[in-house]
Amino acid sequence: MKNNIRVERAIKNITQAELAELIGVSRQTINTIESNRYVPSTVLALKIARVFEKPVEEVFMLEDED
């Protein structure tokens, strides 16, 4: 699964730390999600999408190997 959190953050102009605080996780967690080393739970994915005010499919998308 890939995501474009980095892009969405840039659009909304918020840092990893700010996003982390908004959804109640650590900065490390945001960083590992952004660099595709951690796949978030559905709850967390929905929370992230809600911050960006977009449907979850626009933030997270499946890859061929998924």
Question: Which residues of this protein are in contact with other proteins, per CB under 8 A?
Answer: 9-10, 13, 15-17, 24-29, 31-32, 35, 37-38, 40-41, 43-44
Nearer to other proteins, 4 or 29 (CB): 29
Contact 6, 15 (CB under 8 A): no
Rounded least distance, CB 1 to other proteins, Å: 15
Please identify which residue in the block is written with the tokens 């999600």.
33
Instruction: Please identify, using beta-carbon distances, which residue of 44 and 51 lies nearer to other proteins.
Output: 44
Q: Provide, rounded to whole angstroms, the least separation between the CB of residue 26 and other proteins.
A: 4
Q: How far apart are CA 9 and CA 18, in angstroms?
A: 10
Query: Which residues lie below 8 Å from residue 8, measured CB to CB, with a gap of 6+?
Result: 52, 54, 59
